[in-house]
Structure 1
Amino acid sequence: MGIDDRLADVRRSFERLHPHQAQAAVAEGAVLVDTRPEFQRRAAGAIPGALIVERNHLEWRLDPASSGALPEATDRATRWIVLCDEGYASSLAAASLRWIGLPHATDLIGGFQAWRRAGLPVTPAVG
């Protein structure tokens, strides 16, 4: 089984959200988590209000039981919506969060690029 098969399996295991669905979920209390590296956020902009947690820190920062948990990581019932640039790495990241006991983790279909194409709020690129 290659990465494309694994990605397809992961994506079938939870409901992913389109940009407008994600925006509505955030309005209802979900937390949007931008895992893109700083250079991508600087070059393309960011989503106002999104929690910035680069991918290599994600599990430790969002697990309420972790000594490195962020203040927002207070409950395993939190609905985390992970995004990357195009929606590939975020699917695997959401699956990893589910694996560590965060059952409501999901991701944004199409990532930041889809959010921007949908005309949703984005801060300007820097530089």
Structure 2
Amino acid sequence: MEGPRHYDWAWIEIGADGHRHLLIRRNPSSGELAFYLCWSPRRVPLAELVRVAGTRWCIEECFQAAKGQVGLDHYQVRHWTAWHRHITLAMLPLAFLAALAADARPVRTAQPNRPAHNPDPIDLTVPAGS
């Protein structure tokens, strides 16, 4: 995890029903823009669309871990059945490793604002930038 990410957000309603939006993210330091085409079954505020768009990073980090730790990217897709088997057999050990890493985390203290300290490294984690 790289820490908090700060962006400027804007949205444009692109459907007549109020359920379709173009969400625009701008990096304030570089000016880089990213666009999200959004649909929701009901009207939602901008903050909700931003929250959902932010879950993308969690998913991408999960895929990066799967590629680096269990070989999710070591396959050339030729047939659906073989691809499905490969994905299943790669995600099973990733779930096992995630459970081991979660179990190795230090127990939280009773005070939520005070971090728990454990001098031992947590195994099975990937450092940022790798």
Q: Which category describes the TM-score, using the shorter chain as reference length?
A: under 0.3
Between 1 and 2, higher relative CO (CA 8 Å, sep ≥ 6) is seen in 1
Give the TM-score normalised by the residue count of structure 2: 0.22
**Highest Rg: 1 or 2?**
2
Give the TM-score normalised by the residue count of structure 1: 0.22
